[in-house]
Amino acid sequence: MPSVINDSCVKCGACASICPVSAMHDAGSQLVIDPDTCIDCGACIAECPQGAISNDSEATAEAIKFNAEKAATCPSVAD
């Protein structure tokens, strides 16, 4: 059950700096999480000042699809 970023993201980079598996990718207007890389540690959820990250059980279908599709094509965010 990977974490998912929604469109409240302001690209502050805080989540990417603490993710142990570098699961964040830059989708232009926001960061997204690669569901195949995320190990569901949950650390990024508490780290986000915007409350933009949730477990996919609480995310919209649109956000889940957007994260998966963009993560597959957009560059990883190096901390």
- Give me the residues that bind ligand SF4 (CB under 6 A), please: 2-3, 5, 9-15, 19-21, 23, 31, 33, 38-44, 47-48, 50, 52-53
Q: Which residue type is seen at 28?
A: G
Nearest approach, Cβ of 78 to ligand SF4 (angstroms)? Answer: 13
Nearest approach, Cβ of 31 to ligand SF4 (angstroms)? Answer: 5
Q: Which is nearer to ligand SF4, 48 or 63 (CB)?
A: 48
Q: Which is nearer to ligand SF4, 20 or 73 (CB)?
A: 20
Helix (H, G, I), strand (E, B) or coil at 31: strand
3 Rama sector, left if φ>0, alpha if ψ -120 to 50, beta otherwise: beta
Give CA–CA dist 75/66, Å, rounded: 14
